Structure 1
Amino acid sequence: MVFLMLNTAEGAKLVARRRSRRGRNPAYVGIVAVVIALTVGVVTVVGQYEHGVQVADEAAASSRAATLAKKKAFIAHLAPYARTLKVNYGVLPSITIAQAILESNWGTSDLAAKYHNLFGVKATKAQAGQEMTTQEYVNGKWKVVTARFRSYSDDYASMRDHAQLLAHGTTWNQRQYAQVIAARDYKTAASALQSSGYATDPGYAQKIIQVVEKYDLDNYDAN
């Protein structure tokens, strides 16, 4: 509608012209004044709404940027030592980093934040640990269980213990993760993790692969 384009100054001029043409009819002038007032109000509300949307979009973009920056910082924190562990134990850096991301929710889980356990490694009776609840896939269903998990002095101690577990296996099967160590690409290693029984989640391998590919973690596998 044409009147939506009016501003207050233009409205005032229109009222003056209408008064001169209509002999200053009070009723007519009153109607025009109401229309102008409503128009100004609509324009103001629309402007405020658009400003609000813009502010919300900017806030959301800023939040996404901050989250991405934290994720990149977490990867940068782990990557150099992950490469060292590849040399010492043969674990692909992409697998080390992707597992840490997935198991610790980017280092934000209580287990990771308080006890530096980035991989959900459970503790034996002789090891320092903490009892915590976790979800495990048992008999085709997710269940909340209480388990005792390792606690570490820092993230790198957790990474080293994880690499040693994969390289040396468990006390009951020293070659349990031999296929993970033998793998030369992240997809094969991820599949080997699942088939070797590292996690109960039936979608574990695919989740690892998705994390590697989303954040280009295989770039760290190159010599």
Structure 2
Amino acid sequence: MSRSTSPAHSAGQQKVLTIDWRLLWRRLRSRGGLFLTSARHRAANTEYIPPTWMSRLRLTWFRVGLIALAAFVFTQKQIDFTVSVGADGLGVDAAADRDGTATTVAQTTTLGMLPGSGTSTSTTPPVWNVNDLDAATVRSYVNRFERVAKTEEVKFSIPAAAKMAMAILESDAGQHRAATQYNNHFPAASTTKHYDNAWGSWRGHSEDLNRRFPDLAHESVNYQQWIAALDRSGYSRDPQYGQKLLRIIERFDLQSL
């Protein structure tokens, strides 16, 4: 009797069951080896034909695995893609934040893939300061358009100081994209107009003011009164527009025009 088995007793006659565990193990190992050998042989002689949909899409199991991995990553992370256009974004926009006529907040384009990130990053518009205007650039601009401003005052009753301050503010003294590329020195009035030359922009702006706000012609006693009336007319959506004009006039002595 084997050491690993115990005799089985019956009611009438005693029977002894003996199991040779070593022999059983050898047979199982032999049969298992034959099965593995047969499986390898079949695999080596069988041509794998992928499913029809994989053939049409030219996919392999490796590519399917990569796609599944990418899908898993994207489902586990929140994607935040924000595109915002500032003053100089698409085409000809309103004057830059620096001149205060554009109310759009410039934002950076961000691609965030941090888990739990649901807010977009944006930049705060800088506080306008008249001292940020380059003095030499402004002086050159004033010398260039001084006669034009005086002509517009005579023809349209627009104070030359106010007209010059508007041009400096809206065109950034001729440096704004609208002025350099489209000769539009007053983009706050119209962002889509293109002119053949700068003089056409000045004259077109005067005609536009005269057509839209005819009552301004009766407020030309002095530039302060005219600017106050312009503020009330709704010409600009910037609530500080009139104050900015006054600061430019004082900073660069435009009242002498």
TM-score range, shorter chain: 0.5 to 0.7
**1:1-223 correspondence runs (5 A):** 67-121=134-188, 148-169=191-212, 176-179=213-216, 181-220=218-257
When residues 197 and 180 of structure 1 are mapped into structure 2, their CA distance, relative to the original with a 3 A threshold, is farther
Could you tell me which amino acid in structure 2 is paired with residue 81 of structure 1?
V
CA RMSD of aligned residues (A): 1.9
Could you tell me the TM-score, scaled by structure 2's length?
A: 0.46
> Runs of 4+ in structure 1 displaced over 4 angstroms?
none
Shift of 1:216: 0.9
Could you tell me which amino acid in structure 1 is paired with residue 182 of structure 2?
Y
Shift of 1:194: 1.4
Could you tell me which amino acid in structure 2 is paired with residue 106 of structure 1?
A
Shift of 1:164: 1.0
Shift of 1:88: 1.1
* Cα separation, 2, equivalents of 1:212 and 1:108: 18
Shift of 1:107: 0.8
When residues 72 and 181 of structure 1 are mapped into structure 2, their CA distance, relative to the original with a 3 A threshold, is farther
Could you tell me which amino acid in structure 2 is paired with residue 120 of structure 1?
P
Shift of 1:85: 1.0
Shift of 1:105: 0.8
* Cα separation, 2, equivalents of 1:162 and 1:197: 15
When residues 122 and 182 of structure 1 are mapped into structure 2, their CA distance, relative to the original with a 3 A threshold, is closer
When residues 180 and 204 of structure 1 are mapped into structure 2, their CA distance, relative to the original with a 3 A threshold, is farther
2:104 corresponds in structure 1 to none
1:22 corresponds in structure 2 to none
- Percent of aligned positions with the same letter in both sequences? 27
* Cα separation, 2, equivalents of 1:185 and 1:99: 15
* Cα separation, 2, equivalents of 1:179 and 1:167: 8
When residues 163 and 107 of structure 1 are mapped into structure 2, their CA distance, relative to the original with a 3 A threshold, is same
* Structure 1 contact 180–188 (Cα < 8 Å) conserved: no
When residues 119 and 150 of structure 1 are mapped into structure 2, their CA distance, relative to the original with a 3 A threshold, is same
Shift of 1:181: 5.0
Segments of structure 2 that go 5 or more residues without pairing to the other structure are 1-130
Structure 1 or 2: more strand by fraction: 1
Segments of structure 1 that go 5 or more residues without pairing to the other structure are 1-63, 124-147, 170-175
- State the SS of the aligned residue for 2:204: helix
